[in-house]
């Protein structure tokens, strides 16, 4: 399985009294996310499935990924991908989608950095995942403990 971890693009500041989950991408955030995804497409990224945090900014990022990468299926909301979700819960939920060979996850920090370390079987490792970045981690199987191999990471500075 190829797994792509993508942090959402730049989001607007929260409005007083509005929930964090309602924050939307800025225009710059949309442009940078699309730029990174165009580079990912050139690298051959073609997900069979996109799983996203239910937060607005992550869903918007997932929609950009769907459009740029030409993914046919619908985006599936995965509540475990919220900012303070746990890597263990994300891996448990991903295993339910083991029939897919290539999955893109759209989520947030601090989860994505912790998730990368967990998936690489180095739970104390924390990877700094910049906004609109994509990380590729490959797996030979989806057993109870992940044993991923880091292949690459794309960041928005690569497309500016």
Where in the chain are the domains?
2-158
The burial class, CB within 10 Å (0-12 / 13-18 / 19+), for 159 is middle
- Please tell me the predicted confidence (pLDDT) of residue 28: 96
- Which pTM does this prediction carry? 0.96
CATH topology for the 2-158 domain? Rossmann fold (3.40.50)
List the chain residues with pLDDT less than 50.
none
- Please tell me the predicted confidence (pLDDT) of residue 142: 87
- Please name which of 23, 68, 67, 51 lies closest in space to residue 112, comparing C-alpha atoms: 51
- Please tell me the predicted confidence (pLDDT) of residue 160: 67
């Amino acid at each position: 399985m190829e797994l792509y971890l993508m942090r959402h693009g730049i989001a607007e500041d929260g409005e007083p009294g509005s929930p964090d989950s309602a924050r939307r991408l800025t225009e710059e955030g949309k442009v940078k996310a699309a730029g990174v995804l165009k580079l990912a497409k050139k690298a051959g990224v073609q997900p069979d499935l996109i799983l996203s945090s239910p937060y607005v900014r992550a869903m918007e990022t997932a929609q950009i990924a769907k459009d740029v990468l030409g993914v046919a299926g619908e985006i599936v909301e995965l509540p475990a991908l919220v900012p303070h979700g746990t890597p263990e819960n994300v891996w448990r939920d991903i295993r339910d989608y083991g029939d897919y060979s290539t999955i893109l996850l759209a989520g947030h920090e601090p989860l994505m950095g912790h998730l990368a370390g967990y998936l690489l079987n180095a739970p104390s490792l924390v990877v700094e995942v910049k906004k609109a970045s994509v990380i590729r981690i490959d797996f030979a199987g989806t057993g109870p403990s992940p044993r991923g191999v880091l292949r690459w990471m794309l960041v928005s500075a690569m497309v500016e």
